[in-house]
Amino acid sequence: MKKHVIIGVTGSIACYKALEVIRGLRKIGLSTEVVLTKEAEEFIRPILFQAISGNSVITSDLFKSPEGWDMAHVSLADKADLVLVVPATANIIGKVASGICDDMLTCTICATQSPVLFAPAMNEGMYKNKIVEANIQKLKKLDYKFTGPIKGTLACGSEAIGHIQDVEIIVKEARRLVK
Ligand SMILES: Cc1cc2nc3c(=O)[nH]c(=O)nc-3n(C[C@H](O)[C@H](O)[C@H](O)COP(=O)(O)O)c2cc1C
Protein backbone atom coordinates (compact mmCIF):
# COMPACT_ATOMS: atom_id res chain seq x y z
CA MET A 1 0.00 0.00 0.00
CA LYS A 2 1.17 3.53 -0.77
CA LYS A 3 2.56 5.60 2.08
CA HIS A 4 0.13 8.36 3.01
CA VAL A 5 1.04 12.00 3.66
CA ILE A 6 -1.44 14.30 5.37
CA ILE A 7 -0.79 17.80 4.05
CA GLY A 8 -1.79 20.63 6.37
CA VAL A 9 -2.19 23.92 4.53
CA THR A 10 -2.32 27.13 6.57
CA GLY A 11 -3.14 30.76 5.80
CA SER A 12 0.00 32.07 4.09
CA ILE A 13 0.56 33.82 0.82
CA ALA A 14 2.73 30.78 -0.04
CA CYS A 15 -0.34 28.46 -0.07
CA TYR A 16 0.00 27.83 -3.79
CA LYS A 17 3.35 26.15 -3.19
CA ALA A 18 1.52 23.32 -1.44
CA LEU A 19 0.02 22.37 -4.79
CA GLU A 20 3.48 21.89 -6.29
CA VAL A 21 4.61 19.91 -3.25
CA ILE A 22 1.58 17.61 -3.55
CA ARG A 23 2.35 16.99 -7.22
CA GLY A 24 5.96 16.20 -6.32
CA LEU A 25 4.92 13.75 -3.60
CA ARG A 26 2.48 11.96 -5.88
CA LYS A 27 5.13 11.73 -8.59
CA ILE A 28 7.35 9.73 -6.23
CA GLY A 29 4.51 7.35 -5.35
CA LEU A 30 3.11 8.80 -2.12
CA SER A 31 -0.61 9.36 -1.61
CA THR A 32 -1.77 12.71 -0.28
CA GLU A 33 -4.77 14.03 1.61
CA VAL A 34 -5.21 17.71 2.42
CA VAL A 35 -6.45 19.43 5.56
CA LEU A 36 -7.06 23.16 5.16
CA THR A 37 -7.29 25.60 8.00
CA LYS A 38 -10.15 28.07 7.89
CA GLU A 39 -7.67 30.83 6.98
CA ALA A 40 -6.11 28.75 4.18
CA GLU A 41 -9.58 28.53 2.65
CA GLU A 42 -9.47 32.32 2.31
CA PHE A 43 -6.46 31.94 0.00
CA ILE A 44 -7.34 28.88 -2.12
CA ARG A 45 -10.57 26.97 -2.55
CA PRO A 46 -10.66 23.29 -1.52
CA ILE A 47 -11.67 22.09 -5.00
CA LEU A 48 -8.19 22.86 -6.35
CA PHE A 49 -6.53 20.74 -3.67
CA GLN A 50 -9.05 17.99 -4.34
CA ALA A 51 -8.09 17.88 -8.01
CA ILE A 52 -4.34 17.97 -7.36
CA SER A 53 -4.24 15.60 -4.38
CA GLY A 54 -6.62 12.99 -5.80
CA ASN A 55 -8.56 12.91 -2.54
CA SER A 56 -11.39 14.81 -0.96
CA VAL A 57 -10.23 17.75 1.16
CA ILE A 58 -10.86 18.11 4.86
CA THR A 59 -11.77 21.60 5.93
CA SER A 60 -11.36 22.89 9.44
CA ASP A 61 -14.87 22.39 10.70
CA LEU A 62 -14.47 19.63 13.28
CA PHE A 63 -18.15 19.61 13.91
CA LYS A 64 -19.44 18.82 10.44
CA SER A 65 -21.30 15.52 10.34
CA PRO A 66 -18.74 12.87 9.51
CA GLU A 67 -19.38 10.39 6.71
CA GLY A 68 -20.07 7.14 8.53
CA TRP A 69 -18.96 7.58 12.09
CA ASP A 70 -15.24 7.69 12.26
CA MET A 71 -13.72 10.59 14.11
CA ALA A 72 -11.83 12.35 11.37
CA HIS A 73 -9.07 13.91 13.45
CA VAL A 74 -8.16 10.54 14.94
CA SER A 75 -8.54 8.55 11.73
CA LEU A 76 -6.41 11.06 9.83
CA ALA A 77 -3.76 10.92 12.52
CA ASP A 78 -3.72 7.11 12.33
CA LYS A 79 -3.63 7.04 8.54
CA ALA A 80 -0.67 9.42 8.33
CA ASP A 81 2.81 8.10 7.62
CA LEU A 82 3.82 11.76 7.78
CA VAL A 83 2.06 15.04 8.51
CA LEU A 84 3.53 17.84 6.39
CA VAL A 85 2.46 21.40 7.16
CA VAL A 86 3.12 23.46 4.03
CA PRO A 87 3.15 26.40 4.26
CA ALA A 88 3.32 26.69 8.05
CA THR A 89 2.30 30.03 9.53
CA ALA A 90 3.67 31.53 12.74
CA ASN A 91 0.19 30.85 14.09
CA ILE A 92 0.16 27.07 13.53
CA ILE A 93 3.68 26.77 14.93
CA GLY A 94 2.59 28.67 18.04
CA LYS A 95 -0.55 26.60 18.45
CA VAL A 96 1.25 23.26 18.15
CA ALA A 97 4.04 24.45 20.48
CA SER A 98 1.37 25.34 23.04
CA GLY A 99 -0.63 22.13 22.70
CA ILE A 100 -3.66 23.93 21.31
CA CYS A 101 -6.11 21.69 19.46
CA ASP A 102 -8.90 23.89 18.14
CA ASP A 103 -9.32 22.73 14.56
CA MET A 104 -8.89 19.63 12.42
CA LEU A 105 -5.23 20.25 11.63
CA THR A 106 -4.08 20.93 15.19
CA CYS A 107 -6.06 17.93 16.49
CA THR A 108 -4.53 15.69 13.81
CA ILE A 109 -1.01 16.86 14.64
CA CYS A 110 -1.65 16.33 18.34
CA ALA A 111 -3.03 12.82 17.84
CA THR A 112 -0.51 11.44 15.34
CA GLN A 113 2.32 9.09 16.24
CA SER A 114 4.03 9.80 12.91
CA PRO A 115 6.66 12.43 12.11
CA VAL A 116 5.49 16.02 11.61
CA LEU A 117 7.39 18.29 9.19
CA PHE A 118 6.84 22.06 9.02
CA ALA A 119 7.79 24.22 6.03
CA PRO A 120 7.38 27.72 7.49
CA ALA A 121 6.71 30.82 5.42
CA MET A 122 6.32 34.24 6.91
CA ASN A 123 7.47 37.82 6.94
CA GLU A 124 11.01 38.31 8.29
CA GLY A 125 9.75 40.26 11.29
CA MET A 126 7.48 37.38 12.27
CA TYR A 127 10.23 34.80 11.77
CA LYS A 128 12.68 36.76 13.91
CA ASN A 129 10.13 37.41 16.63
CA LYS A 130 11.45 35.96 19.89
CA ILE A 131 8.27 34.05 20.64
CA VAL A 132 8.18 32.48 17.19
CA GLU A 133 11.87 31.60 17.53
CA ALA A 134 11.25 30.05 20.95
CA ASN A 135 8.27 28.08 19.61
CA ILE A 136 10.40 26.64 16.80
CA GLN A 137 13.21 25.73 19.19
CA LYS A 138 10.74 24.08 21.55
CA LEU A 139 9.23 22.00 18.75
CA LYS A 140 12.66 21.00 17.41
CA LYS A 141 13.63 19.77 20.87
CA LEU A 142 10.44 17.69 20.89
CA ASP A 143 11.54 16.12 17.57
CA TYR A 144 9.21 18.03 15.27
CA LYS A 145 11.01 18.60 11.97
CA PHE A 146 11.50 21.82 10.03
CA THR A 147 12.67 22.65 6.53
CA GLY A 148 13.35 26.31 5.76
CA PRO A 149 12.42 29.06 5.68
CA ILE A 150 15.09 30.41 3.35
CA LYS A 151 16.14 33.82 2.08
CA GLY A 152 14.10 34.95 -0.91
CA THR A 153 11.68 37.54 -2.18
CA LEU A 154 8.84 37.87 0.32
CA ALA A 155 5.27 38.94 -0.39
CA CYS A 156 6.11 42.46 0.76
CA GLY A 157 8.78 42.66 -1.99
CA SER A 158 11.85 42.59 0.25
CA GLU A 159 14.68 40.06 -0.05
CA ALA A 160 14.81 38.46 3.38
CA ILE A 161 14.57 35.29 5.46
CA GLY A 162 11.06 33.86 5.69
CA HIS A 163 10.59 32.54 2.16
CA ILE A 164 9.26 28.98 1.94
CA GLN A 165 11.82 26.23 1.29
CA ASP A 166 12.29 25.08 -2.34
CA VAL A 167 9.62 22.60 -3.41
CA GLU A 168 12.17 19.93 -4.41
CA ILE A 169 13.80 20.08 -0.98
CA ILE A 170 10.46 19.86 0.84
CA VAL A 171 9.55 16.79 -1.24
CA LYS A 172 12.94 15.18 -0.60
CA GLU A 173 12.72 15.82 3.14
CA ALA A 174 9.16 14.45 3.26
CA ARG A 175 10.28 11.28 1.44
CA ARG A 176 13.09 10.84 3.95
CA LEU A 177 10.78 11.21 6.95
CA VAL A 178 7.85 9.07 5.83
CA LYS A 179 7.61 6.23 8.35
C1 LIG B 1 -2.54 38.34 2.70
C2 LIG B 1 -2.07 37.65 3.94
C3 LIG B 1 -0.91 36.90 3.89
C4 LIG B 1 -0.44 36.24 5.03
N5 LIG B 1 0.70 35.51 4.96
C6 LIG B 1 1.19 34.92 6.06
C7 LIG B 1 2.41 34.18 6.00
O8 LIG B 1 3.03 34.00 4.93
N9 LIG B 1 2.86 33.61 7.14
C10 LIG B 1 2.21 33.74 8.35
O11 LIG B 1 2.70 33.22 9.34
N12 LIG B 1 1.03 34.42 8.42
C13 LIG B 1 0.52 35.00 7.32
N14 LIG B 1 -0.67 35.70 7.39
C15 LIG B 1 -1.40 35.73 8.67
C16 LIG B 1 -2.19 34.44 8.88
O17 LIG B 1 -3.09 34.23 7.78
C18 LIG B 1 -2.96 34.49 10.21
O19 LIG B 1 -2.03 34.48 11.27
C20 LIG B 1 -3.94 33.35 10.35
O21 LIG B 1 -4.62 33.46 11.58
C22 LIG B 1 -3.27 31.98 10.24
O23 LIG B 1 -4.19 30.96 10.52
P24 LIG B 1 -3.82 29.41 10.36
O25 LIG B 1 -2.44 29.24 10.89
O26 LIG B 1 -4.84 28.70 11.19
O27 LIG B 1 -3.97 29.07 8.91
C28 LIG B 1 -1.16 36.34 6.26
C29 LIG B 1 -2.35 37.07 6.29
C30 LIG B 1 -2.80 37.72 5.16
C31 LIG B 1 -4.07 38.52 5.22
Q: Per-block average pLDDT, block size 10, for the chain (179 residues)?
A: 95 96 97 96 94 89 58 81 98 98 93 97 96 98 97 82 96 95
Helix (H) or strand (E) holding 128: helix 124-128
Q: Answer yes or no: is the C-beta of 114 below 6 A from any ligand 1 atom.
A: no
Domain ranges in the chain are: 4-177
| Protein residue with least CA distance to atom 9, ligand 1 | 122
Q: Answer yes or no: is the C-beta of 14 below 6 A from any ligand 1 atom.
A: yes
pLDDT at 71: 65
In this structure, are residues 88 and 164 in contact, taking their beta carbons and an 8 Å threshold?
no
In this structure, are residues 146 and 115 in contact, taking their beta carbons and an 8 Å threshold?
no
Please report, for residues 25, 101, 102, 165, the alpha-carbon distance to residue 31 in angstroms, rounded to integers and kept in the order given. 7, 25, 26, 21
In this structure, are residues 117 and 95 in contact, taking their beta carbons and an 8 Å threshold?
no
Sign of the four-CA dihedral 112, 179, 121, 132: positive
Q: Answer yes or no: is the C-beta of 13 below 6 A from any ligand 1 atom.
A: yes
CATH superfamily of domain region 4-177: Flavin prenyltransferase-like (3.40.50.1950)
Atom of ligand 1 nearest to the CA of 126: 11
Among residues 89, 24, 15, 91, which one has the least CA distance to residue 57? 15
Among residues 77, 73, 106, which one has the least CA distance to residue 89? 106
| Protein residue with least CA distance to atom 22, ligand 1 | 11
Q: Answer yes or no: is the C-beta of 90 below 6 A from any ligand 1 atom.
A: yes
In this structure, are residues 149 and 164 in contact, taking their beta carbons and an 8 Å threshold?
yes
